[in-house]
Structure 1
């Protein structure tokens, strides 16, 4: 991780879960981390918490469903730190919205966060890297095992299948422009975060975690570090990470 010391990473969904854990671990390796989410108070608390460490966290309030706010965030990062070297698309939204009887507004929210925001953050990050001649940058998409097999939440799964396809498509596009910027998808299984609490509510989430083994958010953040630590000639394209006891 030495070569990333002092360089800039943007992490979406940074106010909790995998995004927060990723911000912490990247800052601990001396990176300048742009923490993006809607909850500015949580982001500021995170920035204050790591302020004595080797890195720095810059909190930016951004609603990823709003393309204008994403553009404004990247403009702010350019003004403050010059641009982005690493983009971790960690934000994800799962809602119980089936196809036949589902709420179309919930479909739209999931698609905007899980797919459109990921695409735009990737586009802006790659543009920033190329503008500054950065050829060793890295895009990391936090996907899901639901992007590789259909679970109970069909629209959510569809959005994550899209991330699987986009990760491969972006790799092709990067090779097509003779860029050495790398892209990696990390697909976790069950993680004990606020994700299930938001989806299911406290009681059902607790029952789920009691019944099934789960990962910690830090486990996935460590996979981000592992990915960034590989030599520049190594392309980790897809990483599936399950708790040991999880079957599917």
Structure 2
């Protein structure tokens, strides 16, 4: 991790859950982190926490990096472009991009509303693609040849609809797109003869706000298959956000000639394939 000290990372969806934990761990390891979200106040709290940390105790011996908050609605392309204009002005470029922001829709394929599909597609696929394009533009401009793009995908991006998950089929479809886009971007970068790396990290069930929401859905709103799936997951030890943050540290910490292109991180007891 020492080679990343003092360099810049952009983490989308950094106000809670996995994104918050990733931003925190990158900063604790000496990176300057730009945290992007619609709810900026949580990232501000993290920035204050890191600023007051004790080197060698709360973070690495060299101390925490700085955390900068950017309020941005990633489904609004104009706001995304403005964010990257600010990044170019204040930071020149980003060395690591973590595309974490995503949403889960409960609009299935047979009865779902177009509005829900569009919001999910805009955030899970288009925002990820726009951020990647703009981050790479800045990397190429400044001749950053060892940058890293990390897409926080999902185990859903590697599975077909399983019993009990039909209400999430459109979400599963967007995550399959993330899997395909990550592979395609790797191919494009190899053709360009750059050493910039791309990784898809696919978590299984993680304790986040999304999981809390699912736990609070009334049983009467679920099919019997969905209820059985939820009960099965509740009976096992699921992942914590820090588990995924640790996976990010592992992926960027390997030598530059190593590219971990796909990493699936699942609870040991989770049966979902």
State the match for 1:185 in structure 2. Answer: 200
Q: TM-score, normalised by structure 1?
A: 0.96
Q: Paired residue for 1:156, among 171, 188, 200? A: 171
CA contact (8 A) 2:27 2:50 kept: yes
State the match for 1:129 in structure 2. Answer: 139
CA contact (8 A) 1:94 1:156 kept: yes
1:79 offset after TM fit, Å?
1.5
Q: Partners in 2 of 1:201 and 1:64 — Cα distance?
A: 27
Note the residue ranges of structure 1 that are not aligned, 5 or more in a row.
none
Task: Tell whether 2:236 aligns with 1:226.
Answer: no
CA contact (8 A) 1:9 1:88 kept: yes
State the match for 2:236 in structure 1. Answer: 212
RMSD over aligned CA atoms reads 1.7
Relative to 1, partners in 2 of residues 1:33 and 1:2: Cα closer, same or farther, differing over 3 Å? Answer: same
- Alignment length (residue pairs): 248
CA contact (8 A) 1:190 1:213 kept: no
1:198 offset after TM fit, Å?
3.5
Note the residue ranges of structure 2 that are not aligned, 5 or more in a row.
54-63, 220-226
Q: Partners in 1 of 2:201 and 2:132 — Cα distance?
A: 15
Q: Partners in 2 of 1:202 and 1:158 — Cα distance?
A: 22
Point out the structure with max Rg over C-alpha: 2
1:180 offset after TM fit, Å?
0.7
State the match for 1:176 in structure 2. Answer: 191
1:179 offset after TM fit, Å?
0.9
State the match for 2:11 in structure 1. Answer: 11
| 1:182-239 deviation digits (Å, cap 9, x = unpaired) | 0000000010111122355377799676323300000000000000101111010100
CA contact (8 A) 1:77 1:83 kept: yes
Q: TM-score, normalised by structure 2?
A: 0.87
1:92 offset after TM fit, Å?
1.2
Question: Structure 1 residues 63-72 or 47-56, which shifts more?
Answer: 47-56
Q: How does 1:98-117 map to 2 (within 5 A)?
A: 98-117=108-127
